[in-house]
């Protein structure tokens, strides 16, 4: 087989222009070019040398969360802070002062539930506004990257919110036969 002819300047110019956009918008093409550069594929034959088969990583198994604990917590928020009453109320018809007064009651009760039944702490210990660097392997379920996220770690940025994590939770024990779907019983005054 003979060597291919060397293309002229204008052919190379337009080829480079076309290849630039193909490289930019075609992942398979870009990957092949990178493999050629690393010697994994020979440019003349386009054949790949044998590669050891690697097991593909499995997507994490999703499990359905039982609703009982969430319903119990929602019931506690209603009991102590009238949370559902407040959320379900059409607040558009009330003045800002009335809403502010209601929010104080809801806030106080919900905060009591949180402090009585959960021990929370920040995800990050640094103060908000601090510069932080995240290295490869950071916990993406505990840290959300925002802004212009490009490339691979390490990432450097500003801590906008420290995040919250539950360190301990102690919900009250439920009596046998208790229906957790009843968040607040109906009240009838006699």
Q: Is residue 44 part of a domain?
A: no
Residue 62 lies in a domain: no
Q: Are residues 23 and 75 in the same domain?
A: no
Instruction: Judge if 104 and 16 occupy the same domain.
Output: no
Residue 151 Ramachandran class (φ > 0 left, ψ -120 to 50 alpha, else beta): left
Residue 51 falls within a domain, yes or no?
Answer: no
pLDDT value of position 39: 73
* pLDDT of the residue at 10: 60
Total structural domains within the chain: 2
Specify whether the CB–CB gap between 22 and 14 falls below 8 A.
no
What pLDDT does 25 receive?
67
* Residue 93 shares a structural domain with residue 141: yes
Q: Is residue 102 part of a domain?
A: yes
Number of Cβ within 10 Å of residue 77's Cβ equals 22
Query: Looking at residue 123, what is its pLDDT?
Result: 96
Q: Which domain holds residue 25?
A: 10-38
Does 34 share its domain with 75? no
Residue 152 and residue 80 in one domain: yes
Give the C-alpha distances (Å, rounded to integers) separating 59 from 56, 62, 63, 116, 139: 9, 9, 12, 37, 16
Same domain, 91 and 138: yes
Same domain, yes or no, for 72 and 158?
yes
- Is the domain of 156 the same as that of 73? yes
**Does residue 60 lie in a domain region?**
no
Same domain, 78 and 20: no
Q: Is residue 106 part of a domain?
A: yes
Per-residue pLDDT of the chain (190 residues; tens, 9 = 90+): 555 566 666 666 666 656 666 666 677 767 777 777 777 766 555 454 554 555 556 677 888 878 889 999 999 999 999 999 999 999 999 999 999 999 999 999 999 999 999 999 999 999 999 999 999 999 999 999 999 888 999 999 999 999 999 999 999 998 899 899 999 999 999 9
């Amino acid at each position: 087989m003979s060597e291919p002819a060397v293309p002229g300047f204008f052919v190379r110019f337009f080829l480079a222009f076309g290849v630039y956009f193909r490289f930019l918008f075609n992942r398979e093409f870009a990957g092949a070019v990178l493999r050629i550069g690393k010697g994994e594929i020979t440019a003349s034959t386009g054949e790949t040398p044998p590669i050891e088969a690697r097991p593909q990583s499995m997507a994490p198994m999703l499990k359905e969360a039982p609703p009982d604990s969430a319903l119990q917590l929602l019931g506690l928020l209603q009991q102590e802070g009238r949370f559902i009453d407040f959320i379900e109320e059409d607040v558009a018809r009330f003045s800002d002062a009335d809403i502010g007064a209601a929010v104080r009651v809801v806030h106080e009760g919900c905060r009591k539930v949180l402090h009585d039944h959960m021990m929370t702490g920040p995800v990050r210990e640094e103060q908000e506004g601090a510069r932080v660097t995240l290295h490869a392997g950071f916990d993406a379920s505990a840290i959300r990257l925002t802004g212009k996220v490009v490339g691979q770690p390490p990432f450097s940025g500003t801590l906008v919110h420290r995040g919250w994590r539950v360190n301990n939770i102690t919900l009250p024990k439920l009596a046998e036969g208790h229906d957790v779907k009843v968040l607040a019983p109906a009240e009838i005054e006699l």
